[in-house]
Amino acid sequence: MIFKNTFFSLMLIIFITLSCAVDEDRKLADESNTSEWLAYGRTHSEQRFSPLQDIDTTTVKNLRVDWYLDLPNDVALVSTPLVIDGILYFTGTMNRVRAVNATNGKLVWEFDPEVAKYIGTDRKPGWTQSRGISYYKGKIFTATWEGRLIALDAKTGEPLWSVLTIDPDKKMSITGAPKAFAGKVLIGNGGSEAAPNRGYVTAYDAETGKLAWRFYIVPGNPADGFESEAMKMAAETWTGEWWKYGGGGNAWHGFTYDEELHTLYIGTGNGGPWNPKVRSEGGGDNLFLSSIVALNPDNGSYKWHYQTTPGDAWDYNSNMDIVLATIKIKGKDTKVIMHAPKNGFFYVINRETGKLISAKPFVETTWASEIDVITGKPKINPNARYDSGSVYITPSPHGAHSWHAMSFNPQTGLAYIPTIHDAAIFDASKINVNDWKVNPGKGGIAVGLSDPDSLPRPYKGSLQAWNPVTQTLAWIVPHQEVWNAGTLTTAGGLVFQGTASGMFHAYNAYHGDMLWTFDAGLGISAPPITYKIKGRQYIALLVGWGGAFAGVGNKALGWDYNRQTRRLLVFSLDGKANVPSQPPPYFVTPIVDMSFKIDDNLASRGRDLYWQCFNCHGAHVIAKGMAPDLRASPIALSEEAFSLIVRNGAKVNMGMPAYKELTDNDLKALMHFIRKIANESETVSSVKGSM
Ligand code: CA
């Protein structure tokens, strides 16, 4: 009897827990809720479509700033805010989370996870900010750069539990939003290039933080036994001794929960290293690299997968958004996934079966001519995997589309893709594939990369409206710069997008005409959101240039890491706030020190070392706004100061990691390289000035 009662109570508890989880997920999937923005992509569908229509194609011209919040201690801002019950939540630089009143910006609470303290001198790849947070049953979930997943009380910001999701000895990091669903919260990680890493995702109990399950993306050493049948199956698509190189596959973005089908989809990363001849010497598709993998949310078991890039050789990960919709395919309502990964093809996949419906290129794709709909596999072009000499490949490893959010409007039937038109030259002729050694501290890609003389388009970025049914381009707006922010679309017939050049635009969602523009005075990297409280529709946007590859390009954008004010801007049709104007675009004057005698050998070694610096300090030592411009930095002229910051981590609290493995000679080499470039930039600007 006692047994029976205990059993009954236990069943009751399980039933209540499950039905609460179901209720919460139904709420998170409710497309009609317009007063809130509950999940990363607004709802579980990740469509970033709002049924709000007060701001529409005719009224949008009256859109003004309603309130704003200056964030003077932030640098890069890339995240999607959430709005729950009148409170707006967002994460900023160094993973600080803030909760503010969604109608006036008044601070409710702030949580600082003290990332610098936890990271110490243990350098991590990745960046100092996250793309978002997650909400579930009264809790906000946030993940930190160095690998913690933390649950906060949404009302007070008090930490409720915290778990370390990454082995501290591994060169992995987190930049993605956790995904909460069905009583659990999932987190991935990045670092496929940083070291011999084996990617995985982990789900924890949302209430307690107890580990629920872990799914590895690539198989480990068969001698250690496989964790699951799925890993055994995956291992059949690998050759050689792949586990020595880690394999990669890290899932750092793109997690979608399908509430209708109770299925979790994860977008997986590229191979580590990139060169498949090193990674898997006898060839093979290398599952589950560059795939969408459907999992059972309860235990993480495998359901199906679709691999977008078999045998990846180009960093074509499939970490991009996985957007759910029901659309008419051949006249029949079909539950689909829409996915525009780096490889440049737009995929429509049946999410009940995992079968490919269609895939067409949304940019020029020189690596593959087409995707065979029957086999689901790409027709890869000759020498695309750089078997015989160098090859021009588009999309470049930056991808045709990266982490900047895509949105889908069920009324226009169009997906809005922040698109990149870029190419790269791959050349493995200098790589000894038989003797390529993985560097345990640094990883690597095992192929040479360079910029080509020509690019696929006269513009490097664009906003593209794509029809997933006909697989055709509906309209395109070219952008001069590469990295433009994610999109929002509404029932008001609008698409919103911020650009690298600091403009926040509203377009007609049907035709692409620009209807409204706001000059934010600083590059925009975060996607906008919308919500309605007390009869007023708001559009909110974080302004703070940054995120992976915001440092690419050989030209300064005018954004300075401590000059323009980082801001949360919130607009409405009744907005009356006067936002202080930003200082104008700023371009540094490099310091030219004639007394500094440049040693060309050291400078050349410094050039090789600089690849670890460009993501923040900018390609070609031209800062793009996330960190100081080293050409104009007096620190780079003082051996003592340079060593304190670069090797000893004196500015870890600002997000500058400690490169403790650098020798005195390495530091010198970097200084010589910086001086060489500073002198050259001076020459370039004076030559330009005289023309
Ligand atoms: Ca990658």
Q: Looking at residue 6, what is its pLDDT?
A: 63
Query: What is residue 72's three-state secondary structure?
Result: coil
Catalytic residue among 66, 285, 315, 560: 315
- How many whole angstroms separate alpha carbon 569 and alpha carbon 432? 52
Tell me if 661 is assigned to some domain: yes
What is the distance in A from the centroid of ligand 1 to the CA of 306?
Answer: 19
Q: Smallest Cα–Cα separation from 211: which of 219, 200, 222?
A: 200
Residue 613 lies in a domain: yes
Average pLDDT over all residues of the chain: 93
In sequence order, what are the beta bridge partners of 481? none
Which amino acid does the sequence have at 120? G
Count of domains in the chain? 1
Range of the domain at 609: 591-687
607 domain-assigned: yes
Least-confidence region, from 57-71, 439-453, 673-687 = 673-687
Report the percentage of the chain scoring pLDDT > 90. 83
Residue range 488-494: average pLDDT? 98
CA of 266 to the centre of ligand 1 (A): 16
In a domain, 281, yes or no: no
Nearest to 546 by CA among 45, 35, 75: 75
* Phi, psi dihedrals of residue 629, rounded to the nearest 5°: -80, 115
Is the confidence at residue 688, as pLDDT, over 60? no
- Burial class of 558 by CB neighbour count within 10 A (0 to 12, 13 to 18, 19+): buried
441 pLDDT tier (thresholds 50, 70, 90): low
> Is residue 678 a part of any domain in this protein?
yes
Residue at 43 is within a domain: no
Q: What is the pLDDT of residue 686?
A: 32
* Pairwise CA distance, residues 618 & 258, whole Å: 39
167 flagged as catalytic: no
Q: Rounded to whole angstroms, how far apart are CA atoms 6 and 2?
A: 6
pLDDT at residue 652, rounded to an integer: 86
Can you list the alpha helix ranges (DSSP code H) found in 173-240? 229-235
Mean pLDDT of 676-682: 85
Q: What φ, ψ does residue 461 adopt, rounded to 5°?
A: -130, 160
- In a domain, residue 576? The reply is no
Q: How many residues does this entry show for the chain?
A: 691
In the predicted structure, residue 687 carries a pLDDT above the cut 50: no
The sheet with strand 148-153 has its strands ordered as: 134-136, 139-143, 148-153, 159-164
From the CA of 271, how far away is ligand 1's center (Å)?
8
Q: DSSP assignment, residue 227?
A: S
pLDDT tens column, 224-250: 999 999 999 999 999 999 999 999 999
Q: How far is the CA of 215 from the centre of ligand 1 (A)?
A: 19
- Indicate the pairing of strand 49-50 with strand 487-490: parallel
Name every residue whose Cβ is closer than 8 Å to that of residue 4 and which is 6 or more positions away in sequence.
Answer: none
Measured CA to CA, the distance from residue 517 to residue 389 in angstroms comes to 46
CATH, residue 660: 1.10.760.10
Q: Is 123 helix (H, G, I), strand (E, B) or coil?
A: coil
Q: Which residues contact 410 (CB under 8 A, 6 or more apart)?
A: 47, 49, 325, 327
Residue 2 has pLDDT above 90, yes or no: no
Average pLDDT over residues 126-149: 94
Residue 119: band (very low, low, confident or very high) from pLDDT cuts 50, 70, 90: confident
Distance from C-alpha of 575 to C-alpha of 570, rounded to nearest angstrom: 9
553 CA → ligand 1 middle, Å:
18
Long-range contacts at 605-612 (CB < 8 A, ≥ 24 apart): 605/665, 605/666, 605/669, 605/673, 606/669, 606/670, 606/671, 606/672, 606/673, 606/674, 606/676, 607/673, 609/662, 609/666, 609/669, 609/670, 609/673, 610/670, 610/673, 612/659
Centre of ligand 1 to C-alpha 403, Å, is: 11
Going by C-alpha positions, the residue among 294, 211, 231 that lies closest to residue 260 is 294
State the Cα–Cα distance between residues 555 and 553, nearest whole angstrom.
6
For residue 404, is pLDDT > 90?
Answer: yes
Q: How far is the CA of 468 from the centre of ligand 1 (A)?
A: 26
Tell me the CA–centroid distance for residue 394 and ligand 1, in Å: 16
Residue 639 in domain? yes
